[in-house]
A and B are shown apart, each in its own frame.
Chain A
């Protein structure tokens, strides 16, 4: 039926009185068939693939998976104050504070190093984590820690940390901890802390 339709339609168009009407109708018919064709192809693809294997275009930064040893290296400042935010997409206060972290990154980019470490599942590394970071327009280097021993990871970061998320930790350039906060941070107090760490480095 599909193949018969175009020739019948062409005959009809030829019978039309003016060239302008003819041209317009021909375009409209062509467009309609094009839409039908593409819709048909898309539908065929959807039914052929199981939903999970359809590649989802995630507009977000690349996430690097790390273990405890790799995290140990990341905790060391490299000549500048270092700010690290531990977070997860499942953590409400983490998502709530993120716009403030973006502002910090905008203001202090180049002056400090700022990285984020997600505690989401490895499965989330190509889905919800980059999706959220993309929505936030986050450009800080993004990592995801996977470990079978979260207690060891928590201790490595700080003896004070109870494992609560979010955790924000700021190191002076010499590696000493200048600020640690469990729970949500706000832009203004955190910016003050970053300035303090920068002042320590300048002396």
Chain B
């Protein structure tokens, strides 16, 4: 009985711990300021477009991100023209600034790549995976959170979650699917390897 009570308590505590961090669809993403691989500081409010922004957690190492390079650039270019700006974020403490800078130059040259030192932004937003997208409207309200599409290799794409969310928003319709997960790499947090 004592054990059962303790277990219940532990489960409740864990549930709180999970919910304590991160933002949910409908919440407002607070403005943030981070240093970019271009050496300049950027903020969400400066970077977002007239129809919002996508804050996307990426990695120079993650093979899943590598699989998505082409698709990410294609979507970014297409929706940049429609007023939705992409913002790349690298929170992996295992990837050096030099590495992230050269990788961004090579693979993501058309949108800023910001360095989330100490994974503070990842903690605040509750980001855990790469790639992982947070789509906010011009008012910074979170509209969609999660995967780009359903198929890592791109051979059997049936759902383009992110694109569908953009189109709904741009068309003034409600976004049907506001959250979808996919398999990806861990964000390499400072404390995780200890």
A-side interface residues toward B, CB under 8 Å? 88, 90-93, 119, 121, 148-151, 154-155, 160-165, 182-184
Sampled A-B contacts (7; CB under 8 Å): A90-B63, A90-B64, A150-B181, A150-B183, A151-B147, A162-B181, A163-B184
How far is A151 from B183 in the complex, measured between Cα atoms in Å? 8
How far is A149 from B150 in the complex, measured between Cα atoms in Å? 6
* 7 additional contacts (CB under 8 A) given A150-B181, A165-B186: A90-B64, A148-B150, A148-B156, A163-B129, A164-B129, A183-B192, A184-B192
Residues of A within 8 A of B175 (CB): none
How far is A86 from B149 in the complex, measured between Cα atoms in Å? 20
Q: Which residue of B lies closest to A199 (CB)?
A: B3
B-side interface residues toward A, CB under 8 Å? 18, 61, 63-64, 128-129, 132, 146-147, 150-153, 156, 158-159, 180-187, 192-193
Residues of B within 8 A of A148 (CB): 150-151, 156, 158
Checking B128, B151, B181, B183 against A119 with a beta-carbon cut-off of 8 angstroms, the contacting residue is B183
Residues of B within 8 A of A162 (CB): 128-129, 132, 181
Residues of A within 8 A of B182 (CB): 150-151, 154, 163
How far is A165 from B153 in the complex, measured between Cα atoms in Å? 16
How far is A50 from B21 in the complex, measured between Cα atoms in Å? 53
In contact, A164 and B63 (Cβ under 8 angstroms): no
How far is A132 from B139 in the complex, measured between Cα atoms in Å? 48
In contact, B181 and A155 (Cβ under 8 angstroms): yes
How far is A88 from B182 in the complex, measured between Cα atoms in Å? 13
Residues of B within 8 A of A182 (CB): 128, 186
Q: A149-B150, A155-B181 are in contact. Are A164 and B186 (CB under 8 A)?
A: yes
How far is A34 from B58 in the complex, measured between Cα atoms in Å? 56
Write the nearest CB–CB distance from B55 to chain A, whole angstroms: 16
Residues of B within 8 A of A161 (CB): 181
Q: Which residue of B lies closest to A119 (CB)?
A: B183
How far is A150 from B146 in the complex, measured between Cα atoms in Å? 12
Residues of A within 8 A of B147 (CB): 150-151, 163
How far is A101 from B55 in the complex, measured between Cα atoms in Å? 35
Checking B61, B159, B183 against A163 with a beta-carbon cut-off of 8 angstroms, the contacting residue is B183
Q: Which residue of A lies closest to B189 (CB)?
A: A183
Q: A150-B181, A151-B181 are in contact. Are A160 and B18 (CB under 8 A)?
A: yes
Residues of B within 8 A of A154 (CB): 181-183
Residues of A within 8 A of B184 (CB): 163-165
Q: Which residue of A lies closest to B192 (CB)?
A: A183
Q: Which residue of A lies closest to B151 (CB)?
A: A148
Q: A88-B183, A90-B64 are in contact. Are A150 and B192 (CB under 8 A)?
A: no
Write the nearest CB–CB distance from B19 to chain A, whole angstroms: 10
Q: Which residue of A lies closest to B155 (CB)?
A: A121
Q: Which of A90, A91, A151, A182 has the most CB of B within 10 A?
A: A151
Q: Which residue of A lies closest to B188 (CB)?
A: A93
Q: Which residue of B lies closest to A90 (CB)?
A: B63
In contact, B185 and A91 (Cβ under 8 angstroms): yes
Write the nearest CB–CB distance from A201 to chain B, whole angstroms: 13
Residues of B within 8 A of A93 (CB): 186
In contact, A150 and B150 (Cβ under 8 angstroms): yes
How far is A151 from B181 in the complex, measured between Cα atoms in Å? 5
Residues of B within 8 A of A90 (CB): 63-64
How far is A150 from B132 in the complex, measured between Cα atoms in Å? 14
Q: A90-B64, A92-B61, A151-B180 are in contact. Are A121 and B129 (CB under 8 A)?
A: no
How far is A55 from B151 in the complex, measured between Cα atoms in Å? 28
How far is A57 from B190 in the complex, measured between Cα atoms in Å? 41
